[in-house]
């Protein structure tokens, strides 16, 4: 190999990679629209903030088993099949409220949404991990997060705008979100996100040769659904997600309660900050130890919560979106890449399902705990209490990430 050819960087941007980003954008955008819009709907029909949190928690719990199964199915069969199945469930869950309204049916449709989003989330992330070059994985996953970054802005802003049209009967919101879900299903049908069958068979054979047998013990029954190498970063993102999701779900209600107006601009500003981290990821993501990136990102998240706790004006609320976006925009792809790099290449799907299951659980329980905390202590103390969810992952990182946690698994 010549010096010139060895310096050529492997390609990141492909048609399938762009399709996966768009699926992530549409699916996450629809979910985030509901996270922001449902508390307004619940308030309009006279229910408590805890009910809003319960709707998010049901969504998260419904995805637990599908999250576990999706990764194993993607590794065993194909990411594309899991994408299509997830898209179908997600579409059914968003179409349903157009025909059966009320809180009771909504809990059922949140279950369908949770199942569908689990499949879409895991399979799209696993597909991206499959087609990205290993040596540019952190950078590539940062780009993959572009869809999530835009969704963080457009999703909640869209949800707040749509639910405002008719807070007690938001039919327009369900119609628009159903269109997004339909796009996810159609895009999944045309996306090529699986490695060649020959490559998959060779990798699985090599894995068996290295271990001498099929997985046993932890790598047996539990190992079918949980990737051991992904556990530590997954626990970290679960805890971190509690405070982040509580902010996403309740900042709109906080803004209205303080008479600051709509919080849609907060999400747009935070999204722009996230986009900056994604496009700048090539400068630091694969060039620094994970812990050196995690600490400043966590400090940004903590600063955002402190600014919100003491926000006395709309300007402070909006400015808090900058550190919120900078922190969130780095932590999620960083820990995702650590989870994948610590896992065997034949277990990319399971590694992603382990990680995104914990991220989903963090968001689900965060919404429920957040609602309870606000009801008990008010917004200011709640924001300050959520700082714990930022500090604990840093402590875990200082313990477990000092020896290069992001190195590839053998």
Give the residue from 114, 116, 111, 109 showing the smallest Cα distance to 95: 109
User: What local confidence, expressed as pLDDT, does residue 102 receive?
Assistant: 80
Segment 163-169 mean pLDDT: 80
* Contact (Cβ atoms closer than 8 angstroms) between residue 248 and residue 140: no
Lowest mean pLDDT, pick from 172-186, 246-260, 292-306, 395-409: 395-409
**pLDDT per position as a tens digit, 85-144:** 999 999 999 999 999 878 888 999 999 999 999 899 888 888 888 888 777 777 777 788
CATH number of the domain bearing residue 238? 1.20.1250.20
Where does 169-317 show beta strands of DSSP type E?
none
Q: How many domains does the chain have?
A: 1
**Is 137 inside any structural domain?**
yes
Please tell me the distance from the alpha carbon of residue 38 to that of residue 186, in angstroms, as a whole number.
Answer: 26
Assess if residue 216 is contained within a domain.
no
| In-domain check, residue 7 | no
Is residue 149 included in any domain, yes or no? yes
Q: Do the domain assignments include residue 405? A: no
- Mean per-residue pLDDT of the chain: 81
Per-residue pLDDT, averaged over 63-91, amounts to 87
Identify the pLDDT of residue 350. 82
Decide if 359 is inside a domain: yes
Over residues 252-272, mean pLDDT = 84
The answer for residues whose C-beta is within 8 angstroms of residue 344's C-beta and 6 or more apart is 207, 229, 409
Say if 3 falls within a structural domain: no
Domain that residue 109 falls in:
14-194+223-400
């Amino acid at each position: 190999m010549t010096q010139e050819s060895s310096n050529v960087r492997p390609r990141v941007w492909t048609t399938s990679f762009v399709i996966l980003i768009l699926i992530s954008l549409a699916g996450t955008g629809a979910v985030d629209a509901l996270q922001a819009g449902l508390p307004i709907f619940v308030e309009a029909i006279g229910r408590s903030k805890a009910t809003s949190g319960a709707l998010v928690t049901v969504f998260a719990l419904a995805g637990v088993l599908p999250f576990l199964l999706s990764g194993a199915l993607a590794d065993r069969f194909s990411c594309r099949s899991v994408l299509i199945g997830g898209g179908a469930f997600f579409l059914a869950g968003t179409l349903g409220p157009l025909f059966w309204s009320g809180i009771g049916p909504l809990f059922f449709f949140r279950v369908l949404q949770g199942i569908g989003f689990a499949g879409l989330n895991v399979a799209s992330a696993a597909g991206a991990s499959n087609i990205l070059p290993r040596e540019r994985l952190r950078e590539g996953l940062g780009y993959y997060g572009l869809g999530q970054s835009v969704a963080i802005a457009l999703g909640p802003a869209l949800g707040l705008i749509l639910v405002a049209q008719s807070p007690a009967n938001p039919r327009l919101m369900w119609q628009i979100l159903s269109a997004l879900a339909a796009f996810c299903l159609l895009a999944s049908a045309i996306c090529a996100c699986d490695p060649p069958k020959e490559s998959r068979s060779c990798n699985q054979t090599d894995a068996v040769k290295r271990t001498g047998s099929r997985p046993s013990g932890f790598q047996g029954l539990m190992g079918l659904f949980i990737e051991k190498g992904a556990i530590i970063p997954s626990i970290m993102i679960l805890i971190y997600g509690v405070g982040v999701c509580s902010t996403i779900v309740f900042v709109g209600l906080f803004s209205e309660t303080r008479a600051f107006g709509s919080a849609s601009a907060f999400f747009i500003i935070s999204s722009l900050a996230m986009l900056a981290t994604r496009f700048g990821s090539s400068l630091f993501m694969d060039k620094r130890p994970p812990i050196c990136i995690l600490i400043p990102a966590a400090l940004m998240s903590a600063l955002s919560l402190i600014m919100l706790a003491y926000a006395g004006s709309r300007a402070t609320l909006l400015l808090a979106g900058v550190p919120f976006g900078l922190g969130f925009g780095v932590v999620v792809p960083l820990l995702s890449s650590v989870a994948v790099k610590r896992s065997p290449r034949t277990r990319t799907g399971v590694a992603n399902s382990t990680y995104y299951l914990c991220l989903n659980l963090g968001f689900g329980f965060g919404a429920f705990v957040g609602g309870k905390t606000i009801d008990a202590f008010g917004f200011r103390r709640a924001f300050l209490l959520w700082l714990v969810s930022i500090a604990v992952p840093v402590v875990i990182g200082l313990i477990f990430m000092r020896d290069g946690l992001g190195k590839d698994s053998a």
